């Protein structure tokens, strides 16, 4: 199996991709060999995409005090 990042290229009325020769040689693959490809876009991961947009109205000290309070309530001292 080959997994690598490639750039899509315009090829007539279609779009193609070029797989590095070294990757093909490593898997003993060559021209005209039929393969199955799964193509996913590479996206830049942003913090807000992972955690959402935080709208904090409390200070850090207030948030930490609340965490301590909840921890003690759930797990004791």
- Model confidence pLDDT, tens digit, residues 23-68: 999 999 999 999 998 888 888 777 777 777 777 788 889 988 999 9
Q: Is the pLDDT of residue 20 over 70?
A: yes
Smallest Cα–Cα separation from 24: which of 11, 35, 14? 35
Q: By three-state DSSP, how is residue 37 classified? A: coil
**pTM, entire model:** 0.47
Smallest Cα–Cα separation from 22: which of 41, 40, 4? 4
- pLDDT at position 4: 87
- pLDDT at position 34: 93
Backbone angles phi, psi at 58, to 5 degrees: -115, 155
- pLDDT at position 77: 64
Q: Is the pLDDT of residue 16 over 90?
A: yes
């Amino acid at each position: 199996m080959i997994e690598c990042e490639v750039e899509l290229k315009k090829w007539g009325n279609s779009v193609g991709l070029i797989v590095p020769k070294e990757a093909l040689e490593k898997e003993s693959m060559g021209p005209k060999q039929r393969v199955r490809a799964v193509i996913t876009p590479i996206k830049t991961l942003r913090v807000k995409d992972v955690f959402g947009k935080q709208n904090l109205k409390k200070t850090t000290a207030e948030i930490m005090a609340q965490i301590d309070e909840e921890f003690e309530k759930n797990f004791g001292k």
